[in-house]
Amino acid sequence: MVRRVTLALRLLLGAVFVYAAYTKLRQSWLLFALSIDSYQLLPAWAVFALARTLPWLELALGISLIAGVWLRYLSIAAAGILAMFFTVMVVSYFRGAGIDCGCFGVGEPLSVKTLVRDGALLAAAIALVAYTHRRPNPQSLVPNP
Amino acid sequence: MQLLTSALLVAALTLATAELPVAQATSTRALGPVTAAVRIDIFSDYECPACKALHEQTLKRVKEEYASKGKLRLVHHDFPLQQHKHARRAAALAAAADRLGKFEAVSDVLFREQEKWSKAGNVDEVVDSVLTPEERKRIDTLANDPAIAANIERDIQLGQRMQVSSTPTMIVTHNGTPSPVVGVISYPVFSRYLESLVGVSK
């Protein structure tokens, strides 16, 4: 059961990260820079640096999650990135910023729908962290006589 | 499908400004050559704080550095939001000021004094502060012209067709492909994006 849930969670999160990377990499990185800048949280140099690197980071993370490598560490990285996205989105939404989410390319407004979706993905990532850091049941370690 | 949608949106934008009445032929609501390869359609509300920030921090410089130098075409569209009580009147006054050749001055004062008139509702007074006595007499009649209300309505409908849901929204069209840019964008980031478009224009 645990293995199946872990597999489902990492495939789901991996696919989402790969798709998010694809939607950003297929267009000019400057369009993604505009989306990041509209959050009004970073100076221009940091906006450019993030716009250039984040899609590749998402791609690498997505592929690694699908492949199931370094799962104990990458599940934490995925949860950390999603927690960061979610925090920034919630703050911006309640600040009343009518901006694009920037999650999957351009043209998707930041809304309750995008917050619910990101919140659900964050919950999935936290569950994956919990499953991958779960201590094995001591009973299962006792060899059968 | 996406190509077809893009083509229809660009056609809608082009027609929207081509249909401007003769009285607006010398309008400064649109700046830069019609033939420019890059075109920015800005949907804005004079009572929206983000529009004020975009106007003052970014668009004024875009006008100076790009539109005035013929590198792109910048077109203003009114998109007064329903929750802003005085936005429609402000848009009507700015459009009337355009007929007096004072669009720039009135737009600037409306954004600069936004906090004041949006609370007090004295938008006419604020506009009057940048007009001559002669212009003050004419602007009220001009702002009440049904053609101006119709133009604002047409801008709103155009924005809705372009899926504008909040202000400010810029539709940047380059080589026939429109890209929505929503919210306040700082000048350094926006100019880098514009340079990438202007530099590769066909």
Q: What is the mean pLDDT of residues B16-43?
A: 73
On average, the pLDDT of chain A sits at: 92
pLDDT given for residue A55 in this prediction: 97
Contact between chains at A37 and B179 (C-beta distance less than 8 A): no
Identify all chain A residues contacting B57, using CB atoms and an 8 Å cutoff: none
pLDDT of A81 higher than 90: yes
pLDDT given for residue A97 in this prediction: 81
Asked if A33 has any chain B CB less than 8 Å from its own CB, the reply is: yes
Q: What is the mean pLDDT of residues B13-21?
A: 48
Measure CA A5 to chain center.
18
pLDDT given for residue B134 in this prediction: 92
pLDDT of B19 higher than 50: no
β-pairing, B73-78 vs B38-44, is parallel
pLDDT one-digit tens code per residue, B128-167: 999 999 999 899 999 999 999 999 999 999 999 998 989 9
* Chain B positions with Cβ closer than 8 Å to A: 50, 163, 165-167, 179-186, 188-190, 192-193, 196
pLDDT of A76 higher than 70: yes
Identity of the residue numbered B72: L
The torsion angles phi and psi of A94, rounded to 5 degrees, stand at: -75, -15
On average, the pLDDT of chain B sits at: 88
Contact between chains at A38 and B166 (C-beta distance less than 8 A): no
Instruction: Tell me the C-alpha distance between A86 and A13, whole Å.
Output: 15
Contact between chains at A38 and B190 (C-beta distance less than 8 A): no
More confident: A141 or A124: A124
pLDDT of B201 higher than 90: no
* B179 closest CA partner among B189, B192, B194: B194
The answer to whether the beta carbons of residues A70 and A64 sit under 8 Å apart is yes
Identify all chain B residues contacting A95, using CB atoms and an 8 Å cutoff: none
pLDDT given for residue B21 in this prediction: 41
Q: How many residues does chain A have?
A: 145
What does R_g of chain B's alpha carbons equal in angstroms? 16
Q: Has the ipTM of the complex gone over 0.90?
A: no
pLDDT given for residue A2 in this prediction: 81
Q: Is the pTM of this model over 0.90?
A: no
Contact between chains at B183 and A98 (C-beta distance less than 8 A): yes
Identify all chain B residues contacting A106, using CB atoms and an 8 Å cutoff: 179-181
Q: Is the peptide bond before B168 cis (omega within 30 degrees of 0)?
A: yes
Which A-chain residues 77-136 have CB contacts (< 8 A) with chain B? 97-100, 106-107, 109
Q: What is the mean pLDDT of residues B101-109?
A: 94
Identify all chain A residues contacting B195, using CB atoms and an 8 Å cutoff: none
Instruction: Tell me the C-alpha distance between A63 and A69, whole Å.
Output: 9
pLDDT of B48 higher than 60: yes
